[in-house]
């Protein structure tokens, strides 16, 4: 069953490449807009061999991880503080949702001024965008913990830390993980967005730079590289989610 589904997915990818290939062969599409996939794959192979991908990859990865580390640690801490009282949760929930609707991307030019065009502004953007979804999800997750478990732990004299460590985290972990996953995806997206808009280095910068240099083959090669990176990221996250969701 699994194999036949995987076959469909591989088939889909093959179909996309075939459509792309024949579109460039038969239709009069400008190679600037859609270059021949064969050349793109060649460029991608060159890119991988020359190890030129290492530097931008590590820049982007470190920005995403710094932003995500900040937003997940601070986000879970804030959720824990908020979720101690139902009244606080109910009061601040609409505010959090309202803040979440704020298009933080508009602050990016300001971040670029404040923190420079280097990693600082991307980390700030990634943090701002991924923080609130994590807080909202984690607060909701803590809210669904059975209150009898909390009461039992409090009666037996659990400290705040023990409450978090032994009651709240274990029972809320599946939902927290899906919130964290969303946060990481958002951090990745916004870091790449920041790099595409204004930066010195990183994967988004490479895509924007090759596009501005009108080198479409290189641009598509970088895009395929980023798709591969996000595919591996997502597969790893699904795996973590499945393992974490199963744990007691």
Positions in the binding site for another protein (CB under 8 A)? 5, 8-9, 12, 32-33, 87, 90-92, 94-95, 97-98, 100-103, 105-110, 112-114, 185, 188-189, 192-193, 196-197, 204, 207-208, 211, 216, 219, 222-223, 226-227, 230-231, 233-234
Query: 121-124: long-range contacts at Cβ-Cβ below 8 A with a sequence spacing of 24 or more?
Result: 121/194, 121/198, 121/199, 122/63, 122/67, 122/190, 122/191, 122/194, 122/195, 122/199, 122/202, 123/63, 123/66, 123/67, 123/70, 123/191, 124/67
In the complex, least distance from residue 109 CB atom to another protein, rounded to whole angstroms = 4
Nearer to another protein, 84 or 169 (CB): 84
> Closest separation between CB of residue 235 and another protein, Å?
9
Q: CB atoms < 10 A from the CB of 223, how many?
A: 17
Measured from the CB of residue 189, what is the shortest distance to another protein in angstroms? 4
CB of 175 to another protein, least distance (A): 15
From the number of C-beta atoms within 10 Å of its C-beta (0-12, 13-18, 19+), residue 98 rates as: exposed
The CB-of-232 to another protein minimum distance in angstroms stands at 10
Whether 141 contacts 176, CB under 8 Å: yes
Which CB sits closer to another protein, 105 or 169? 105
- CB-nearer residue toward another protein: 99 or 169: 99
> Least separation, in Å, of the C-beta of 238 and another protein?
8
Question: Is residue 126 within 8 Å of 187, Cβ to Cβ?
Answer: yes
Smaller CB separation from another protein, 11 or 170: 11
| 122 CB-near residues (< 8 Å, 6+ apart) | 63, 67, 190, 191, 194, 195, 199, 202
Residue 191, C-beta contacts closer than 8 angstroms, at least 6 positions apart: 60, 63, 64, 67, 122, 123, 125, 126, 202, 204
Closest to another protein by CB, 114 vs 243, is 114
Between 113 and 239, name the residue whose CB sits nearer to another protein: 113
Specify the DSSP class assigned to residue 157: T
Q: Which is nearer to another protein, 4 or 50 (CB)?
A: 4
Write down the least CB distance from residue 172 to another protein, Å. 20
């Amino acid at each position: 069953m699994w194999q036949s589904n995987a076959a469909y997915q591989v088939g889909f990818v093959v179909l996309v490449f075939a459509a792309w290939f024949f579109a460039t062969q038969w239709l009069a599409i400008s190679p600037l807009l859609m270059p021949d996939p064969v050349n793109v794959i060649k460029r991608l192979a060159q890119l991988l061999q020359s190890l030129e991908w290492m530097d931008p990859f590590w820049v982007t990865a470190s920005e995403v991880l710094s932003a995500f580390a900040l937003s997940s640690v601070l986000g879970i801490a804030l959720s824990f503080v908020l979720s101690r009282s139902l009244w606080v949760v109910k009061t601040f929930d609409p505010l959090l949702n309202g803040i979440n609707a704020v298009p933080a991307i508009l602050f990016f030019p300001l971040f670029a001024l404040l923190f420079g065009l280097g990693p600082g502004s991307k980390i700030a953007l990634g943090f701002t965008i991924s923080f609130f979804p994590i807080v909202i999800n984690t607060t909701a997750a803590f809210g669904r913990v059975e209150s009898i478990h909390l009461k039992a732990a409090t009666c037996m004299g659990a400290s705040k830390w023990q409450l978090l460590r032994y009651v709240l985290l274990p029972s809320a972990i599946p939902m927290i993980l899906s919130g964290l996953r969303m946060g990481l995806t958002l951090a990745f997206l916004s870091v790449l967005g920041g790099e595409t808009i204004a930066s010195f280095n990183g994967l988004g910068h490479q895509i924007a730079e090759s596009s501005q240099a009108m080198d479409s083959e290189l641009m598509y090669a970088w895009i395929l590289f980023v798709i591969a990176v996000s595919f591996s990221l997502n597969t790893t996250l699904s795996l973590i989610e499945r393992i974490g969701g199963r744990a007691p």
